[in-house]
Structure 1
Amino acid sequence: MKTKIKEFVLINIGMIMVSAGMYFFLMPNNLATGGANGLAIVINKFIGGLSVGWIMIIINLFLFVIAFVIIGKSFGGKSVYASFGVSGIIIVFQKFIPIKNPLTGDIFLELVFGILISGIGMAIVFNQNASTGGTDILAKILNKYFHINLGKGVLMCDLIITIMAAFAFGIKLSLYAMLGVIINGYVIDNIIDGINVCKEVTIISKNSHKIRKYIREDLEKTCTIYNGVGDFSNENKEVLVVILGRREFITLKKFINSVDKDAFITVNNIYEAFGDGFKSLTH
């Protein structure tokens, strides 16, 4: 239950960030940086009667119907919720915080901040095994029928939208939007890596039994034990390997320092870990 509540809260935080980045920074500058929102900005240029938020709802509704028919239910209820949630939040912003002009007049500054805020929001949503819809759905269709990598599929769809933006807003804004698409990909990948990063710690110590006990009882983790032999000393040694979160690693490092200042430790970054104590493979 706690996991579900945490997931729900994080998805909503991500949705608000995505909506804020789009509404306050990208939309006032007509920066169509891909996705359903980018397409909605382009369409809004030609159909002024509908707000960007409502156009996004129509686009996502159309895409989810196609996804349901072609892909099946694999896109998940959370993605449906997040997609329409972002559109709904933008509609609320438009009603209660109307913006007619860009905040600063510096298009590059607003592009960077818009992409950073919305990109971090998307990364949070993606990390909960959901998506904000739009070109993600088209990418899944391309993957199913043409075996195109999902990341490349999203990039292809987004670049097509930025080309459409050239006809709506001119080459300059289209190039800014294309730059935004590229930055957005890097932001999402790096944020997700940062959220999921764990530490693989290898420990060789004369007090390995104390360290094992601390890992098991205080950190509530388990380690793998290998039997090794020192090349110079020819002594048998226990080699402990454990995967921990960043905070747990800091705590363990302090404990090891207190029981064996000469312990040998190596640390590697692990960007995803599945199984007991970590994410489920079916998540």
Structure 2
Amino acid sequence: MIKNLKDIFMLLFGCLLVAFGTYFFLAPSHIAAGGISGAGIIVNTFFPNIPIGLFMICVEILLFIIGFIIIGPIFGGKTIFCSFSISLMILLMEKIYPTVKPFSSDTLMQLIFGVLICGAGMGIVFNKNASTGGTDIIAKIINKYTKISIGKCILIPDIVVAIAACAVLGIDKGMYAMLGILLNATIIDRVIINLNTYKQVAIISSNGKKIKDYIVEVLDRSATIYYAKGAYNNNNNEVITTILDRKQFLKLKEYIVKIDAKAFITVNEVNEVLGEGFSSII
């Protein structure tokens, strides 16, 4: 139950970042940096009476049906939740702040901050096996069958939007859009990698039992134990190995310092862990 609530909170937070970055940074500067939001900016330029949020909802319904059929109901359910959340958030922002001017006269700064915020939000959403809807569903389908990173998959449909931006908004805006798409893809991949980075820890300590108990009972993680012989004095040592997230590792390190300041610890970063307690292997 707690995990489900945490996942919902993370999805909503990711959606809020995407909506905020789109409405307050990209849209005011007419930067169509890919996706349905970018297409919405292009349409809104021609037809100001069509709200960006309303356009996104209509297009996302069609793409959602496709994603639901091809990828599955779990992904589909999360995606419809995220896509409508973003659209409704943007509609709400349009009601509260109907006239939004760029924060900066520098279009490049608007682009960088907008893409940073949106890319971080999209990375959070993708990491929870969902998408923000729109062309992201197409990217997720490509990722499913090709195993290309999700950031690179997003480039494919978004480039089409960028080409349209060149034709509609001018070559300058189109070039900004292309730069935004490349930055967005890179940020999404980096966010996903960082969210899935764990610490592989190996510990040799005279208080091994206390450390094992702390890992299992307090950190709620398992550990593997093996024995090794030291080359210097030929002593047999118990080696405890475990995999933890960043916060768990900091807690474990603080605990070890308290009970055995002479413990020997090695740490490696791993970018993906599959299996029980981590990401599904399927």
Q: Is the 8 A contact 1:79 1:130 kept in 2?
A: yes
Residue 49 of structure 1 aligns to a residue whose secondary structure is coil
- Summarize deviations over 1:42-83 as a string: whole Å, max 9, x none: 222233331111111121122223444555646421101111
- The answer to whether structure 1 residue 117 and structure 2 residue 108 are counterparts is no
* C-alpha spacing 1:205/1:58, structure 2 compared with 1 (3 Å): same
Answer yes or no: is the 8 Å Cα contact 1:34–1:158 preserved in 2.
Answer: yes
CA contact (8 A) 1:139 1:150 kept: no
**8 A Cα contact 2:67 2:76, kept in partner:** no
Q: Could you say which residue in structure 2 is the equivalent of 1:240?
A: 240
Deviation, 1:214, is: 3.0
Identity, in percent, stands at: 43
| AA matched with 2:138 | L
Q: What TM-score do you get using the length of structure 2 for normalisation?
A: 0.89
Shift of 1:31: 0.7
> After alignment, is 77-86 or 22-31 more displaced?
77-86
Of 190-199 and 147-156, more deviation after overlay is shown by 147-156
Q: Measure the CA separation in 2 of the matches of 1:276 and 1:142.
A: 27
Give the CA deviation at 1:278. 3.3
Unmatched 5+ residue regions in structure 1?
none
Q: How does 1:86-125 map to 2 (within 5 A)?
A: 86-125=86-125
CA 280–232 in structure 1, closer or farther in 2 if over 3 Å, else same: same
Alpha-carbon distance between aligned partners in 1 of 2:51 and 2:127, rounded to the nearest angstrom: 29
Match of 2:264 in 1: 264
Matches of residues 9-24 of structure 1 in structure 2 within 5 Å? 9-24=9-24
Instruction: Tell me the alpha carbon deviations over residues 67-118 of structure 1, each in whole angstroms, 9 at most, x when there is no partner.
Output: 4455564642110111122112111211221125322212111111111222
Given that 1:22 and 1:114 are in contact with CA atoms closer than 8 Å, whether structure 2 keeps it comes out as yes
What does residue 77 of structure 1 align with? 77
- For the 8 Å contact 1:19–1:118, the answer to whether it is kept is yes
Q: What secondary structure, in the 3-state scheme, does the structure 1 residue paired with 2:33 have?
A: coil
The alpha carbon displacement at 1:221 in A equals: 2.7
Name the CA shift for 1:155/1:232 in 2 (closer, same or farther; >3 Å).
Answer: same
Does 1:40 pair with 2:40? yes
Say how many residue pairs are matched. Answer: 281
Shift of 1:186: 2.1
- 1-side partners of 2:213 and 2:198: how far apart? 21
Matched, 1:177 2:180: no
3-state SS of paired residue (1:29): coil
Contact 2:75 2:129 survives alignment (8 Å) = no
Aligned residues of 1:83 and 1:131 also touching (Cα < 8 A)? yes
Q: Which residue of 2 aligns with 1:164?
A: 164
Equivalent position amino acid for 2:114 in 1? G
Correspondence for 2:220 = 220
- In structure 1, give the amino acid aligned to 2:214: Y
Q: Which residue of 1 aligns with 2:252?
A: 252
Q: CA deviation at 1:141?
A: 4.8
How far did residue 122 of structure 1 move? 1.5
Unaligned runs of 5+ in 2: none
CA 1:69–1:5 in 2, change beyond 3 Å: closer, same or farther?
closer
Looking at structure 1, the residues matched to 214 and 144 of structure 2 have their Cα atoms a distance apart, in angstroms, of: 48
Aligned-CA RMSD value: 2.4
Letter in 1 for 2:275: G
1:199-233 deviation digits (Å, cap 9, x = unpaired): 11111223323322332334333210011111232
- The answer as to whether partners of 1:21 and 1:118 remain within 8 angstroms in 2 is yes
What amino acid does structure 1 have at the position aligned with 2:108?
Answer: F
| Further displaced range: 115-124 or 14-23 | 115-124
Rounded Cα–Cα distance in structure 2 between residues aligned with 1:246 and 1:189: 19
